[in-house]
Structure formats: C-alpha cells, structure tokens
Amino acid sequence: MAFALSTMQLESSAFKAQGAIPTKHTGEGEDVSPALSWQGAPEGTKGFAVICHDPDAPLVQNGSYGFVHWVLYNLPASTTSLEENSGEGDSGLNDFGKQGYGGPMPPEGHGVHQYYFWVLALGKATDLPEGLALPELLKQVEPHLLGMNRLVGTYQRD
C-alpha cells in the first residue's frame, strides 16, 4: 500500500514525540488509550482513522505491521482530538484478540519498543462494521486516504 506522510500534525498530552509512554497507558498500568490531538488535515477530509502498532514486536501475526495495539475508525471529519480512554468511533480488533485499545506490553527483557500512533485523513466518511482487523481496515480506507502522520512513543518493561 502506498502511504505517504502529510503535513498533518499529531500530538499527545501524555507523552512527547520519541518520549516514554506513561505506565498508565500500558498493559502494566490502567491500559487506557492516551489523549491524542491533530491539526492540519488535508482539504476535503471527511473522516479519520487511528491506529497504534509496535513494529519492534516479534512479527507473529501481521507481518510488517508488527503487533497491532489499536484500530479505531468511523471518526467524523469534525474530530480533531480524542480524550484519554476515548469511546469515540468504532473499534477494530487488536492483536490481543480484543476490540479497542490494548497498551504497550513488550516481552520482559526485550528492550525499548517504539509505538507508532497514526492518524489517517480520509476523503470519504466511513461506516464500517466494528471489529475489523488492521489489514481489512487498510484495504477499505486506502482508496480514500488523503494524508496521514504519526506520533512515536516508547516503552520498556523492567
């Protein structure tokens, strides 16, 4: 799939780019999604999707996607932020086998992992069914992708 970064900006009040993700947002803590906000969506944006994956994880399920922690979609164009532990949009299937957010939980002794939080701007509003896995979501939204960008945080288990 041909995805390219755009000028859209994505940030979190919970952690800075390349900064450590607080334990609260991990499988060792409360396991709640961090607050995210974005700006600079391309003209013509009609909706958004949000994804989080760990490309440093052993590639056990989704090949080049690493381990998928969050798949969120059917977000309207008016959405420019998600509160912590947000219930907005529809949840897809993560690699924990559950819908919704599943925070960082790298194997013990595996070192620092990077977690890529992506926002995808879509030129078509989506009304996709809940429970899609990442490959199926990407297949559905790729033809409508106008722009995307990422925020990368880190986490390491002691």
Write the pLDDT tens digit of every residue in 74-91: 999 999 999 999 999 999
**Per-residue pLDDT, 61:** 57
So where are the chain's domains?
Answer: 35-142
Residue 134 has φ and ψ, to the nearest 5°, of: -55, -50
Q: Which residues of the chain have pLDDT under 70?
A: 1-4, 59-64
Question: Each residue of 49-64: pLDDT tens digit?
Answer: 999 999 888 755 555 6
CATH class of the domain whose range is 35-142: alpha beta
What predicted TM-score, i.e. pTM, was given to this entire model? Answer: 0.93
9-11 vs 145-155, strand pairing mode: unpaired
What amino acid occupies position 99? Answer: Q
Per the CB < 8 A criterion, the answer to whether 47 and 141 are in contact is no
Q: Say if residues 33 and 2 touch (Cβ distance below 8 Å).
A: no
* pLDDT for res 63: 57
